Amino acid sequence: MTLKAAVIGAGRIGALLDDPNSPHILTHAHGYKASEGFEIVGFVDRELGKAQRAATCWGGKAFSSIEELFARQDVDVVSVCVPDELHYETLSSLAKRPVRLIFLEKPPVRTATEAESIGALYARLPIRVLVNYTRRFVPEIRRIGLAITDNEYGDFLSGTGYYGKGLMHNGSHMVDLVRFLLGEVDEIEPTDELADFYDDDPSVSALLSLERGGRFYLKHIDCRNYDIFELDLLFEKKRVRISDLGAVIEEYSVGDNKIFKDCRTLNKDRSYSTEHRRAMYHAITNIRSNLERDEPLACTLQDSLATVTTCLRISQAGSKSKA
């Protein structure tokens, strides 16, 4: 069965960051186009010209509103790629539409009130929601998560992660990955913050104590210098570094130092590329397997709302420390 897909928000992540000939699969549109069993039926954008450009590139029709889309097309799966501040409004509208699954850009919402409202609303609906916390779809990162769960690396000791562009907008990627790999955050000690992208969503640095043990330093880097997304995780038996936005992983094991015979150090085992630049393809594959075989979604709405809640706790701790 062919699933009919539409994209709401025909900007960069929705349609314009790549094209059908790109070697990387970076947009929702390319994800659908590259995946078997999907047909793109339309793009929605308040700037109709954007929707028309996307439709010319990827196929389907252009619409200026959600109402027009659903009045003229049957839709099984819809991607939500509008600006962060429009997520709540768009999710509220889609709750009234005959759609099977929503593929939602992060963050799902921005406030505690929105999180509570959307969580309660969709808990009553048959509509499934997958949220694009990208690294959850990268096979190599998922394998690291399984190794951590199976205690192959021993206890987590300490880690550091670097990000920019706002705690909720981009730092939530890091917070979600910490939750995915290491478990829930317990105590929070903020250190400083900087409004480097949005005035109402500063990037916050904080020391996070984890419920399962160990501490993680969430550190902002001003995005006006450069974009960065890196984390370094130290375990009893292993070190894992994820760099280049998630596209490269380095693994180190504890062993005898080759020069200083009485020292045990972290020695590099290997460095390898990941499927990060095809994460969108893996996400779309996850959608199809969920709808056809009821396989679990890699990042549900509830997963993502828990990440939002943690980000709000970090932000509130930062605000209290300044008071």
Contacts of 67 (CB under 8 A, 6+ apart): none
Domains, the chain, ordered by start: 3-135+280-300 (3.40.50.720), 138-274 (3.30.360.10)
Q: Are 97 and 66 in contact (CB under 8 A)?
A: yes
Full DSSP string of 207-232: EEEETTS-EEEEEE--TTT----EEE
- The alpha carbon of 202 is separated from its chain's Cα centroid by a whole number of angstroms, namely 18
pLDDT digits (tens, 9 = 90+) for 23-32: 999 999 999 9
What stretch of H or E contains 204?
A: strand 201-210
Task: Report the length, in residues, of the chain.
Answer: 323
Phi, psi of 20 (to 5 degrees): -60, -20
Pair 141, 246: CB distance under 8 Å: yes
Structure-block tokens of residue 213: 């043990």
Rounded distance between C-alpha atoms, residue 225 and residue 258, angstroms: 38
| pLDDT at position 228 over 80 | yes
pLDDT of residue 322: 66
pLDDT (0 to 100) of residue 226: 98
Task: Render pLDDT for 233-269 as a digit per residue (tens, 0 to 9).
Answer: 999 999 999 999 999 999 999 999 989 988 999 999 9
- Mean pLDDT, residues 30-53: 98
Among 63-77, 211-225, 255-269, the least confident range: 255-269
Torsion of CA 199, 315, 138, 231, to 10 degrees: 100
Distances (CA, A) of 317 to 102, 208, 254: 32, 11, 36
Residue 187, classed as helix, strand or coil, is strand
Is pLDDT above 80 for 320? Answer: no
Q: What is the pTM of this model?
A: 0.96
Whole-number percent of the chain with pLDDT over 90: 97
Say which DSSP state 17 is in: S
Taking only the tens place, the pLDDT of each residue in 158-195 is 999 999 999 999 999 999 999 999 999 999 999 999 99
Between CA 165 and CA 315, with CA 142 as vertex, the angle to 5 degrees is: 30
Looking at the DSSP bridge assignments, the partners of residue 160 are 217, 232
> What pLDDT is recorded for position 323?
57
**Tens digits of per-residue pLDDT, 115-165?**
999 999 999 999 999 999 999 999 999 999 999 999 999 999 999 999 999
Question: Distance (Å, rounded) from C-alpha 100 to C-alpha 110?
Answer: 24
How far is Cα 54 from Cα 42, in angstroms, rounded to an integer? 9
